[in-house]
Amino acid sequence: MRVRMPLVMVTAGLALAGCGSSGSNEATPLSASSVAVTPAASPTAHAAERIGADADGKDVSLAVGQGLIVTLEANPTTGYAWQVGQLDQNVVKQNGSPDYEQDSNPDGKVGVGGKSVLNFVAAAPGSTTLSLSYMRAWEQGMEPAKRFTVNVTVR
C-alpha cells in the first residue's frame, strides 16, 4: 500500500499536536477537520481535447495544463503499436503509456482489434508537431504501416 507524503505529514502533525501538557502557552491541538489538505496539482479548467484519425494533418490548440487524448485504430495481436516519433516534450509531454480498448467481441474470437489511446499534456507555451507511427518495434528501417500527425500550439 502506497501512502502519500502529505497524508503522512498531516497524520504525524496530528499525533504530535495531541502530545505534551496542556499549559497555557501551548497552541490548540489540531483536529483532522481543522487541517486543509491541498492536492499536489489542481485540476485544469480546460477539458481534455479528444482527437482521432480524422484530425490527421490538422492543427490543435491547447492551454497549458490541458490534456490531449489521441484515439486511433490498433490491433496489438499483429505486433503493431502506435509509437511517438517527433514531439517537443518541453511543449507537450506524453502522459504515461498508451492504453488499449478492445472492440466488442461477443463471439470470443482471437485477434479482434480495437483502439490505442495515447495521453499527452500541454506543458508550456509553444508549438510542436506530434508525429505517431504504427509499426512493429523490432522491424527497424521499415516504413510504418500508418502515420498520424497533428500540429499542436500551446497558448
CA dist., res. 123 & res. 15, Å (int) = 38
Q: pLDDT digit of tens for each residue in the chain (155 aa)?
A: 344 444 444 344 444 444 444 444 444 443 443 334 334 444 546 899 999 999 999 999 999 999 999 999 999 999 999 999 999 999 999 999 899 998 887 787 778 899 999 999 999 999 999 999 999 999 989 999 999 999 999 99
Q: Between the CA of residue 54 and those of 50, 59, 70, 100, 128, what are the distances in Å?
A: 11, 12, 11, 19, 19
pTM (2 d.p.): 0.67
81-84 and 92-94 beta bridge pairing: unpaired
- Strand 114-122 relative to strand 99-102, pairing: antiparallel
